[in-house]
Amino acid sequence: MWLLTMDGAQLVSFPQPPRKYAILSHVWRKTRPGSIGSPEQTFQDVMEIQERCRSTGADPRMFLSPKIKRCCAWAASHGFKHVWIDTCCINQDSSSELSEAINSMFNWYSMATICYAYLQDVSIRYDPSASNSTFRRSKWFTRGWTLQELIAPRDVIFLSREWVPLTSKRAMPHLLQAITGIDVDVLLYERSLFNIPVARRMSWAARRHTSRIEDMAYCLMGLFKVNMPTIYGEGSGSFFRLQEEIMKRTSDHSLFVWG
């Protein structure tokens, strides 16, 4: 597990998650047509910054993207020394590291002390609970990966595009249930996720989507305690493999509703 340090913006590898760290949940920015490279700062980008600053003596924090800088500022203000951000803490050039991260991600979010959910499309100017609020309509609630990122952490602090707190999972669980369909007692850790029927857990993902078809299966693995190899290019085969793995672990045949 790679984590970014607060004091020097260094990527450090941990064999096991440390006792205390913050974690970020967000929607990745899309690459604009005709542009080259990722619009988000990657693992390789941060490593290159480290190397360049090592030779020049410059502060690596000066070269971080605004999103990473603001996330680090929040984490530091809460006394954290490390933060995990998927865009820059996963070496996606390594298929083995990527597969390990995807299989571990639910646990990493559940073990984090706090999760910051950055909603780039929501302003602090509007009440999140309003019937047609931008909070309710945020893209964050439509993405496959953010489902486990809402469920797994003990608490989630939602931050506006201005990086100002909007609410938290503990403060407004009923609003989050209305938006996502996820049971309040699951959100509040009062009922085990794994006691919820398979079909109901699957239903929470029904209106969500991912950029790659395989990720729609991979983003659900943690919700069913499944570990399996990630094979990009297999298409819908990933979901059939997920079903097979779930079948090995449960006699709950409601799974087949989602064939």
Q: Where are the domains of the chain?
A: 2-191, 193-259
Q: Which residues contact 248 (CB under 8 A, 6 or more apart)?
A: none
Residue 129: strand pairing partners: none
The pLDDT value recorded for residue 66 is 94
DSSP state string for 40-60: S--HHHHHHHHHHHHHH---G
Mark out the alpha helices in the chain (DSSP H runs). Answer: 43-56, 66-77, 86-89, 95-111, 145-151, 173-180, 184-187, 198-203, 215-218, 237-249
- Asked if residues 115 and 109 have their Cβ atoms less than 8 Å apart, the reply is yes
Give the amino acid at 256: F
C-alpha to C-alpha distance for 174 and 135, rounded to whole angstroms:
14
The pLDDT value recorded for residue 35 is 46
Identify the burial level of 189 via C-beta atoms within 10 angstroms of its C-beta, where 0-12 means exposed, 13-18 middle and 19 or more buried.
middle
The pLDDT value recorded for residue 60 is 92
pTM of the prediction?
0.93
- For each of the chain's 259 residues, which pLDDT tens digit applies? 999 999 889 999 999 999 999 999 999 987 554 444 458 999 999 999 999 998 899 999 999 999 999 999 999 999 999 999 999 999 999 999 999 999 999 999 999 999 999 999 999 888 999 988 999 999 999 999 999 999 999 999 999 999 999 999 999 999 999 999 999 999 999 999 999 999 999 999 999 999 999 999 999 999 999 999 999 999 999 999 999 999 998 877 666 665 5
Percent of residues, the chain, with pLDDT higher than 90: 87
Is the CA virtual torsion 21, 27, 215, 189 positive or negative?
positive
66-79: per-residue pLDDT in tens? 999 999 999 999 99
Burial 78-107 (b: 16+ CB within 10 A, else e): eebbbbbbbbbbbbeeeeeeebbbbbbbbe
The pLDDT value recorded for residue 84 is 98
The pLDDT value recorded for residue 32 is 53
C-alpha to C-alpha distance for 102 and 97, rounded to whole angstroms:
9
C-alpha to C-alpha distance for 159 and 77, rounded to whole angstroms:
14
